[in-house]
Amino acid sequence: MQLYDKDLLSMQEVRKLVEAAKNAQQELAQKSQEDVDRIVRSIADAGVRNARRLAQMAHEDTGFGKVEDKVIKNIFASQGVYERIREMRTIGELSRDDAKKLRVIAVPVGVIAGLVPSTNPTSTVLFKAEIAIKAGNAIVFSPHPSALRCILETVKVIRQAVAEAGGNEDLVSCITIPTMQATDNLMRHPDTAMILATGGSAMVRAAYSSGTPAIGVGPGNGPAYIERTADLPLAVKRILDSKTFDYGTICASEQSVICDADMRPAVQAEMERQGAYFLNAEERSQLGRYILRANGTMNPEIVGRPVQTIASLAGLRVPESARVLVADEDGVGPGHPYSNEKLAPILGFFTGTDYRDVCNICRTILCYEGKGHTFSMHTKDDRIVEYFAKRIPASRILVNTASALGGIGATSALMPSLTLGCGAVGGSATSENVGPMNLLDRRYVAYGLKELEEIRAGVPDCSDGICRTAPQAPCGCQAAPAAPALDNEALDRIVARVVELLRAGN
């Protein structure tokens, strides 16, 4: 029996997939906006029809999250995204200004490499396929190995939907032999125009260092501030709903709760009433040693697991009614595990002396991990919102909403997205919730409006430091002094002198 090297097979597969995707994309480039929208609508409908089956497969493959919540995410990533983007103009001319003689034309980037995480595998594939094709592109997915089966099935569903709508099914494809070499080849392939990276920090860094234009997102670590004017029961409900949704696998979910110190008793009492379990000092230390690995990164064993499973793995016993585990934290950084991102129903708890101190603590948390991602707050005071919005290094400042769902645009007006940019402060190419407009280039057609002589005529004459061309001295020089005012006697003398000169000349 002949044996084949897995790495070589995977790299050969990448070459074939990219070649087929390039041909399919060139076909798509000849289609109208209506043709493209028909394909996207077909993908959305297929995502809804298969939402439960794909959610069940994702849960079976990874063990992460809740099936019911994954159903919601699949519907959001297909129908929810489609509803927002269906009216977007993404093919051909985007805008025209006849007065300025300026036109803007959409140009698809080509073939996109889509990196898929294990935390949201099926929903991410549905979302990225929709926005890629909406922008006129093809996409080749690199799946997380632990979610390969459900990702391949999702791609199969999408390819069938594309074909049913009259498109080339090679617009969407997936590596079936996932290796690091295959992913690297996909990202560096000369016909890969852009990388859309959602995953761990190491993978995102690899995308940005590949030499191919990339949109990657960093980790979330968003604090949630319960300010003193907040509706406390409603604020706690939103936080716990958010943190328990799919067991915390959405990166925009709250990672810590913070309030003014004098509010601590009331906040803790309300959180406990709604199902939060506050760890004692011994339990806090025991779980803290478990949630991070020796290198300081999150232990994958806690990701997307229910409270009872996490407690059992860490050797703890907690009430059956516990929905979220909460641990007091008095610092940020190494040695303070609850100040890190925890994609699980675990929250750190901080207090500050007042809103200014709280703001400084939140800034410190985000600068340690999660810079540029998400911050949430619960308040009725718009002045407090303004104060934090000017100072918090986050691309999404969410007010009075569940952070996980508000961050992805499910309960807010943000672009519905499962790829959340962190901006330059977070090492990302964009601070937006990524959508179709991030996946196309704009070609500008601009007609001339001036000639060189007109530009020269507007240049100030100020060679000696005094501007004589423009009375307001827009160049910054000293304006030329105005001529002194003349009285009647002075004018009479001037007229008499002119008459005298004229007679002499005669």
Residue 126 in tokens: 């549905």
The pLDDT confidence band at residue 349, using thresholds 50, 70 and 90, is: very high
Asked if the 15-217+436-445 domain carries CATH number 1.10.8.100, the reply is no
Confidence (pLDDT) at 188: 96
pLDDT digits (tens, 9 = 90+) for 140-152: 999 999 999 999 9
Tell me if domain 15-217+436-445 and domain 223-415 are identical in fold.
no
Least confident range of 75-79, 321-325, 328-332, 473-477 = 473-477
**What value does the mean pLDDT of the chain take?**
93
Tell me which residue has tokens 């099926």.
Answer: 122
3-class secondary structure, 10: helix
Tell me the C-alpha distance between 152 and 464, whole Å.
73
Contact 114, 142 (CB under 8 A): yes
Tell me the C-alpha distance between 126 and 120, whole Å.
10
Which residues share a beta bridge with 398?
376
The fold of the 223-415 domain, in CATH, is: Aldehyde Dehydrogenase; Chain A, domain 2 (3.40.309)
The pLDDT confidence band at residue 1, using thresholds 50, 70 and 90, is: very low
Could you tell me the pTM of the whole model? 0.89
Confidence (pLDDT) at 335: 93
Contact 363, 392 (CB under 8 A): yes
Task: Find the mean pLDDT for residues 156-184.
Answer: 97
Contact 126, 159 (CB under 8 A): no
pLDDT digits (tens, 9 = 90+) for 260-282: 999 999 999 999 999 999 999 99
Active site (annotated) includes residue 251? yes
Confidence (pLDDT) at 486: 62
Q: Does the structure show a pLDDT above 60 at 450?
A: yes
pLDDT digits (tens, 9 = 90+) for 229-253: 999 999 999 999 999 999 999 999 9
Confidence (pLDDT) at 198: 84
Confidence (pLDDT) at 414: 98
Q: How many residues does the chain have?
A: 506
Least confident range of 229-238, 304-313, 426-435, 494-503 = 494-503
Confidence (pLDDT) at 285: 96
Q: Does the structure show a pLDDT above 70 at 42?
A: yes
Confidence (pLDDT) at 2: 47
Contact 191, 16 (CB under 8 A): no
Tell me the C-alpha distance between 225 and 381, whole Å.
13
Tell me the C-alpha distance between 52 and 256, whole Å.
31
The pLDDT confidence band at residue 203, using thresholds 50, 70 and 90, is: confident
Residue 407 in tokens: 């961050």
**Backbone phi, psi, residue 473, to 5°:** 50, 60
Q: Does the structure show a pLDDT above 70 at 476?
A: no
Q: How far apart are the first and last CA of the chain?
A: 122
Spell out the residues 6+ positions from residue 114 whose beta carbon is closer than 8 angstroms to its own: 124, 125, 128, 129, 132, 139, 140, 141, 142, 196
Q: Does the structure show a pLDDT above 90 at 462?
A: no
Percent of the chain predicted with pLDDT > 90: 84
Tell me which residue has tokens 């927002």.
Answer: 84
pLDDT digits (tens, 9 = 90+) for 55-79: 999 999 999 999 999 999 999 999 9
Task: Find the mean pLDDT for residues 13-42.
Answer: 98
Residue 434 in tokens: 């990524």
Tell me the C-alpha distance between 451 and 454, whole Å.
5
Catalytic pick from 251, 362, 467, 477?
251
Q: What is the DSSP letter of 94?
A: E
Q: Does the structure show a pLDDT above 50 at 43?
A: yes
Residue 54 in tokens: 């794909």
C-alpha distance from residue 310 to each of 127, 168, 292, 297, 317 (Å): 30, 45, 13, 17, 10
Q: How do the domains of the chain map onto residue ranges?
A: 15-217+436-445, 223-415, 461-506
